[in-house]
């Protein structure tokens, strides 16, 4: 009768309605949680902030690992050091040796230096004992406290739990503190590869045996859980494909008041007397550190109210910590009679004279407290299971560790049963970790160690494509030297950068007027334009154009076929404009290296950009065009000017900005031009005024100037090109080649097992299949990694992973950044030469820029601008993007030439 009265009292305190094994979910507070699971899920998800960088399910990548690995498992008053030997002789085998060490209470609550010195000392003892102190082994550090991780080997302690209070550690990187303690000793060295939470270690340990294990749960001194979350839900981490293990730190659930309606006066009293009041409230209702104390407080309350022990208490019963959680497990023995006997022994040890009814009541109090803990744990676990469920019956395994789960005779059964009641549509298996989280830490370390070596190898390869400031300054210096060689009459023939005079010496003065045709040829597409120039107050340029293609067989055929095709397109355009048979002045933008002795002549030096039409090199392209016009007998044109596209771009932008004296193209190919002092142009008579010089800088490097920054990938691209050994600078910068450089890097990575799991698609082996436009798409800040993956799938890489996508994006970024930096270094040489030519301390100048790579790549322009500013600090350069292309510039040059010709007449 007394026992029933006591239990009724206690159940009232805990909001229970029944005595016999009442489900916690029948409480008003828990009924709300049961009916509206979304609430608890949302509240729990707010705690999903501590990230462990384990991106793939452990079991899928484990079987490549062999070797010896250390593990350090720190999460309570005792910690373990382990040596884990992983071997593979057709079948994976794991052997472990371990030693348990104690952490005295004065160290737990002393300084962080003392704590980590103690850990280092124990680690040294373990290594010496096994005779491996002279070896530098990789180590995985299980650190079972709330930490913020940004990478696998760095973890900042957010707050101590489980009774720890070592000063100077919160907010610090615990890996750094351990490394410092080891370095201070100086008698051994280790490579700390990974730091993980014990829940993650438990999940990995159990995942070794059960590949369905994707949840880790600890119910011991403290409590916590982790699980595999979809990357698309993790806003704190880049990437939206695959999954990542999330360390929930669910012990802090309720710190925001979410559990206030089910916390009792006993919970509040425990919290108030703890080392961290107001923190870890969920943990304080569940874990082994507090369960015994919760029972003690209830017993004290009941005794003082005269409901137990005839109203008597003892100093031991009133002393915090004297009713241990192990007593709860012993009193709840599966055999009730043995549990009652144990209750009597425990009470006697506390100096209490207990009756049989007192023992029954104490046993029931223990049952209720532990049942509440199990059911709370089940409710939270149900929320996790619902979070990962994919609208179907979920089959998953929960890896579990912890003294309460393992040692309490009823806890596991109650937890398992309640989880199944709460999520009946999930097929849940609970797998107890027999090897602790240390084995998991070692296994993560084994995987991480291999991945770290692979990462280092990838970075070593990519580093060959990265340029430092000194290298860029040297590129600038060498470009300046080649410019001088190209301008000099004696050195011109051997110079790589030809510095070709264009005979463009004047810019529009506003009096030009008339209709002009322009032909813009620089790639497989070309434009025919009609440009109407109007002078006076309302001076304007009106343009009409049409784009035509040149089939590849014509670019590789004969010169006659090429120019006949061009003339056919011009005739089509004139008919399209209703001007069939008209005779107009024409400016010919011809974007290939030409030697000019006058404005209306251009002798092709060599084809570039994949063109190989025979019978053109060494010939005047203006004459070839005129001959084709005569063959057609459809119209007559007056070819007034042959212009390079860079010159056309400069003139187009110069029409709006008189300070524009440099033209730059970064598209299929790359080139630059600028206004040079006539006194420096030794190939042309006269030393007054200026002339635009077509640099043809794509050939920079053909004399070996870039050999020290060229990589094996550049050499592979060059070897497979139409003109090996030529246009080396262009092949490192322009749109025709960047995709091919990336493709060669990806081939190398894959062959070395560093990408796509070593599996190569046949399509990726195809030269030119990785188009440069893919770089612009992949590097777009707006592009999600799943879209990167769709590009890879287009290339036949159907099994590529999120990590593959990230690496491909990095390769693209490195290759395009180098291209932009090299272009910036060349442009720095140009503007600095103009400044020195004019003997200026500071130069203000505008560069007109055109080209698909410059216009479409999301980062090329900004990187080039930054490099230019760094390497030419005395030049204030404005980059103006040409919106009308170089064809308008060719027409304007033609208009100026016609004006000057008419003036001479």
CA distance 627 to 563: 9
Told to judge if 450 belongs to the known catalytic residues of this protein, a careful annotator would answer: no
Q: Looking at residue 41, what is its pLDDT?
A: 35
CA distance 42 to 37: 9
CA angle at 156 for the pair 152 and 161, rounded to the nearest 5°: 115
Tell me the fold of 2-11+30-49+254-432. Hexokinase; domain 1 (3.40.367)
Q: Looking at residue 784, what is its pLDDT?
A: 66
Torsional sign, CA 283, 284, 289, 290: negative
| Residue tagged active-site, from 80, 179, 372, 527 | 527
CA distance 536 to 514: 12
Annotated domain spans of the chain: 2-11+30-49+254-432, 61-196+435-455
Contacts of range 837-841, beta carbons closer than 8 Å, 24 or more positions apart: 837/676, 837/677, 837/680, 838/677, 841/874
CA distance 901 to 905: 6
CA angle at 372 for the pair 368 and 378, rounded to the nearest 5°: 145
Dmax over Cα atoms in the chain, in whole Å?
131
Q: Looking at residue 591, what is its pLDDT?
A: 82
Count of residues in the chain:
905
CA 411 to chain centre: 42
CA distance 663 to 886: 10
833 token code pair? 């030469």
Told to judge if 886 belongs to the known catalytic residues of this protein, a careful annotator would answer: no
Among 163, 195, 158, 161, CA closest to 176: 195
Q: Is 689 exposed, middle or buried (0-12, 13-18, 19+ CB in 10 A)?
A: exposed
CA distance 693 to 837: 14
Q: Is 747 exposed, middle or buried (0-12, 13-18, 19+ CB in 10 A)?
A: middle
CATH value of 61-196+435-455 in 3.90.220.20, 3.40.50.970, 3.30.420.40, 3.40.50.2000: 3.30.420.40
Question: DSSP state, 75?
Answer: S
CA distance 705 to 713: 17
Among 848, 847, 850, CA closest to 885: 850
pTM for this model (two decimals): 0.68
Among 623, 570, 558, 618, CA closest to 592: 618
Helix axis angle for 735-751 and 712-719, nearest 10°, is 120
Q: Which residue has the tokens 């630059």?
A: 672
Q: Looking at residue 90, what is its pLDDT?
A: 52
CA distance 743 to 764: 7
CA distance 420 to 394: 12
All residue ranges of the chain with pLDDT < 70 are 1-65, 88-92, 238-242, 390-393, 436, 507, 509, 536-537, 781-784, 903-905
Non-local CB neighbours of 572 within 8 Å, separated by 6+ positions: 546, 548
Same fold, 2-11+30-49+254-432 and 61-196+435-455: no
CA distances 389 to 216, 394, 444, Å, are 16, 6, 25
Rg of the chain, C-alpha, whole Å: 39
- Three-state SS across 477-542? HHHHHHHHHHHCCCCHHHCCCCCEECCCCCCCCCCCCEEEEEEEECCCEEEEEEEEEECCCCCEEE
CA distance 613 to 647: 24
Under a CB-based contact definition with an 8 Å cutoff, are residues 116 and 158 in contact?
A: no
Strand 637-643 relative to strand 584-590, pairing: parallel
Render pLDDT for 295-344 as a digit per residue (tens, 0 to 9).
999 999 999 999 999 999 999 999 999 999 999 999 998 888 899 999 99
Told to judge if 21 belongs to the known catalytic residues of this protein, a careful annotator would answer: no
| Residue tagged active-site, from 153, 401, 620, 645 | 645
Among 121, 113, 124, 105, CA closest to 162: 105
Helix residue ranges per DSSP H, 464-590: 469-487, 552-555, 559-576
Helix residue ranges per DSSP H, 214-324: 265-272, 283-286, 288-304
* H or E stretch at 415: helix 411-422
Q: Looking at residue 905, what is its pLDDT?
A: 60
462 token code pair? 């990519």
Among 155, 249, 31, 767, CA closest to 444: 155
Under a CB-based contact definition with an 8 Å cutoff, are residues 532 and 542 in contact?
A: yes
406 token code pair? 């393992």
- Show the beta-strand stretches assigned E in 347-437: 394-401, 426-432
Q: Looking at residue 65, what is its pLDDT?
A: 63
Helix residue ranges per DSSP H, 97-197: 105-108, 112-130, 174-185
402 torsion bin: left (phi>0), alpha (psi -120 to 50), beta (else):
left
Under a CB-based contact definition with an 8 Å cutoff, are residues 501 and 689 in contact?
A: no
| Residue tagged active-site, from 274, 433, 591, 886 | 591
Q: Looking at residue 19, what is its pLDDT?
A: 29
Helix axis angle for 436-463 and 198-209, nearest 10°, is 90
366-396 in b/e form (b: 16+ CB < 10 A) is: bbbbbbbbbbbbbbbbbbbbbbbeeeeebeb
Q: Which residue has the tokens 């870890």?
A: 280
């Amino acid at each position: 009768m007394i026992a029933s009265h006591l239990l009724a009292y206690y159940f009232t305190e805990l909001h229970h309605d029944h005595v016999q094994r009442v489900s916690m979910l029948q409480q008003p507070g828990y009924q709300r949680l049961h009916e509206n699971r979304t609430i608890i899920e949302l509240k729990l998800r707010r705690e999903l902030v501590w990230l462990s960088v384990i991106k793939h399910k452990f079991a899928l990548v484990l079987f490549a690992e062999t070797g010896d690995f250390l593990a350090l498992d720190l999460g309570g008053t005792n910690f373990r050091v382990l040596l884990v030997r992983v071997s593979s002789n057709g079948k994976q085998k794991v052997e472990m040796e371990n030693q348990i060490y104690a952490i005295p209470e004065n160290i737990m609550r002393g300084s962080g230096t003392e704590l980590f010195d103690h850990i280092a000392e124990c680690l040294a003892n373990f290594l010496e004992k096994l005779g491996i102190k002279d070896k530098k082994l990789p180590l995985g550090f299980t650190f079972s406290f709330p930490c913020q991780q940004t990478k696998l080997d760095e973890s900042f302690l957010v707050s101590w739990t489980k009774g720890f209070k070592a000063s100077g550690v919160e907010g610090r990187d615990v890996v750094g503190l351990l490394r410092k303690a080891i370095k201070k000793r100086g008698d051994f060295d280790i490579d700390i590869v990974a730091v993980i939470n014990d829940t993650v270690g438990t999940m990995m340990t159990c995942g070794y045996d059960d590949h369905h294990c994707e949840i880790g749960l600890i119910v011991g001194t403290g409590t916590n859980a982790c699980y595999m979350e979809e990357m698309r839900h993790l806003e704190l981490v880049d990437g939206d494909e695959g999954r990542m293990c999330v360390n929930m730190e669910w012990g802090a659930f309720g710190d925001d008041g979410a559990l206030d309606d089910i916390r009792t006066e006993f919970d509040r009293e425990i919290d108030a007397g703890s080392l961290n009041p107001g923190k870890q409230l969920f943990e304080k209702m569940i874990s082994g550190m507090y369960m015994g104390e919760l029972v003690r407080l209830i017993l004290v309350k009941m005794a003082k109210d005269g409901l137990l022990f005839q109203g008597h208490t003892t100093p031991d019963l009133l002393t915090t910590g004297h009713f241990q959680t192990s007593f709860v497990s012993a009193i709840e023995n599966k055999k009730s009679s043995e549990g009652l006997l144990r209750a009597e022994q425990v009470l006697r040890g506390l100096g209490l004279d207990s009756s049989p009814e007192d023992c029954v009541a104490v046993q029931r109090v223990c049952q209720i407290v532990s049942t509440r803990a199990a059911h709370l744990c089940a409710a939270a676990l149900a929320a996790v299971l619902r979070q990962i469920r994919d609208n179907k019956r979920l089959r998953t395994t929960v890896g579990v560790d912890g003294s309460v789960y393992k040692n309490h005779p009823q806890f596991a059964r109650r937890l398992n049963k309640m989880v199944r009641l709460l999520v009946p549509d999930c097929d849940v298996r609970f797998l107890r970790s027999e090897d602790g989280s240390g084995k998991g830490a070692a296994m993560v370390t084994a995987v991480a160690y291999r991945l770290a070596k692979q990462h280092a190898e990838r970075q070593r390869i990519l580093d060959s494509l990265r340029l430092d400031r000194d290298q860029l300054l040297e590129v600038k210096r060498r470009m300046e030297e080649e410019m001088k060689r190209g301008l000099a009459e004696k050195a011109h023939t051997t110079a790589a950068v030809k510095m070709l005079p264009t005979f463009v010496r004047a810019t529009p003065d506003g009096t030009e007027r008339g209709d002009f045709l322009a032909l813009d040829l620089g790639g497989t597409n070309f434009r025919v334009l009609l440009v109407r120039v109007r002078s006076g107050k309302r001076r304007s340029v009106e343009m009409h154009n049409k784009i035509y293609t040149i089939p590849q067989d014509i670019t590789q055929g004969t010169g006659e076929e090429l120019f006949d095709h061009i003339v056919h397109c011009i005739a089509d355009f004139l008919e399209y404009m209703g001007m069939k048979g008209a005779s107009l002045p024409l400016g010919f933008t011809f974007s290939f290296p030409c030697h000019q002795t006058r404005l209306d002549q251009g002798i092709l030096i060599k084809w570039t950009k994949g063109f190989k039409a025979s019978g053109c090199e060494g010939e005047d392209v203006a004459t070839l065009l005129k001959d084709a016009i005569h063959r057609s007998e459809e119209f007559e044109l007056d070819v007034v000017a042959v212009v390079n596209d860079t010159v056309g771009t400069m003139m187009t932008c110069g029409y709006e900005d008189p300070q524009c004296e440099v033209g730059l193209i970064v598209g299929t190919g790359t080139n630059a031009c600028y206004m040079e002092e006539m006194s420096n142009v030794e190939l042309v008579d006269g030393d007054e005024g200026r002339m635009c010089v077509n640099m043809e800088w794509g050939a920079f490097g053909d004399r070996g100037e870039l050999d020290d920054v060229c990589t094996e990938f550049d050499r592979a691209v060059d070897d497979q090109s139409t003109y090996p050994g030529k246009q080396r600078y262009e092949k490192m910068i322009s749109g025709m080649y960047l995709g091919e450089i990336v493709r060669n890097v990806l081939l190398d990575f894959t062959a070395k097992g560093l990408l796509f799991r070593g599996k190569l698609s046949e399509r990726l082996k195809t030269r030119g299949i990785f188009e440069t436009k893919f770089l612009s798409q992949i590097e777009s800040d707006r592009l999600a990694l799943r879209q990167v993956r769709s590009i890879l799938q287009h290339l036949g890489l159907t099994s590529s992973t999120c990590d593959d996508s990230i690496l491909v994006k990095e390769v693209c970024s490195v290759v395009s950044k180098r291209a932009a930096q090299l272009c910036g270094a060349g442009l720095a040489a140009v503007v600095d030469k103009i400044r020195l030519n004019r003997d200026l301390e500071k130069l203000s100048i505008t560069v007109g820029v055109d080209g698909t790579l410059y216009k479409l790549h999301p980062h090329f322009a900004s990187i080039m601008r930054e490099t230019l500013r760094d390497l030419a600090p005395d030049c204030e350069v404005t980059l103006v993007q040409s919106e009308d292309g170089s064809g308008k510039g060719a027409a304007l040059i033609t208009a100026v030439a016609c004006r000057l010709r008419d003036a001479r007449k």
